[in-house]
């Protein structure tokens, strides 16, 4: 059941990304693999509105709360799904709407992709002129190491308007990916 879900999520992930981003990730030999969708992050000026929709209506499970002045975010980390097929849904509100980053704009703030080797992915993508947002590789709200591909860099390549979070996959996700055929 999870393997078909992972395959569906992976194909959905590539269908929502601009084709130039998918091509950049899939062409040539790379020292890393994109394993599938890890999360979506949604922003609003009303955390109550988001939690009413996602927790109360869609029955997403609240996992933890995260607040960061540096990242200007008050966040509820939730999950939908079961087992290794869970997808994280981050509900975010800015602490100060006048400051950056503006986590509520756009409402679909970013998507997260599981990566089997985050440091190698960053090194490789930088060698291909992809730009990352400031902060480098760091622990994310859910505890995995993360970094963000810049949505619209002034120079080099980026996410073609999409903020893309690369998330270091835990061993369990990597093992399941390796055990799953197309």
Rg (CA), the chain: 16
Question: Cα–Cα distance between 147 and 113 in angstroms, integer?
Answer: 10
What is residue 26's predicted lDDT score, i.e. its pLDDT? 52
pLDDT over 80 (residue 87): yes
Q: Which residues of 75-99 are buried (b: 16+ CB within 10 A; e: fewer)?
A: bbbbeeeeeebbbbbbbbbbeeeee
Architecture of domain 2-179: Roll (3.10)
Q: pLDDT band at 10, cuts 50/70/90?
A: very low
Q: pLDDT band at 66, cuts 50/70/90?
A: very high
**Residue 12: how many other CB atoms lie within 10 Å:** 12
Question: Cα–Cα distance between 74 and 113 in angstroms, integer?
Answer: 22
Q: In this predicted model, what pLDDT tens digit does every residue of 137-177 receive, in sequence order?
A: 999 999 999 999 999 999 999 998 899 999 999 999 999 88
Rounded (10°) CA dihedral 162, 167, 37, 99: -40
Q: What is the mean pLDDT of residues 1-20?
A: 48
How do the domains of the chain map onto residue ranges? 2-179
């Amino acid at each position: 059941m999870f393997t078909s879900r992972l395959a569906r999520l992976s194909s959905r992930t590539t269908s929502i990304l601009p084709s130039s981003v998918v091509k950049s990730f899939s062409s040539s030999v790379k020292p890393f693999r994109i394993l599938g969708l890890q999360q979506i992050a949604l922003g609003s000026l009303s955390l109550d509105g988001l939690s009413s929709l996602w927790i109360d209506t869609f029955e997403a499970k609240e996992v933890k709360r995260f607040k960061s002045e540096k990242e200007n975010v008050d966040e509820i980390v939730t999950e939908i799904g079961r087992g290794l097929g869970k997808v994280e849904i981050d509900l975010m509100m800015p602490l100060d709407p006048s400051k950056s980053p503006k986590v509520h704009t756009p409402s679909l703030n970013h998507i997260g992709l599981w990566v089997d080797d985050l440091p190698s992915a960053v090194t490789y993508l930088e060698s291909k002129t992809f730009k990352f947002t400031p902060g480098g590789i760091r622990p994310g709200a859910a505890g995995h190491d993360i970094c963000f591909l810049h949505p619209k860099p002034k120079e080099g390549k980026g996410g073609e308007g999409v903020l893309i979070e690369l998330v270091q996959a835990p061993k369990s996700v990597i093992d399941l990916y390796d055990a799953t055929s197309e």
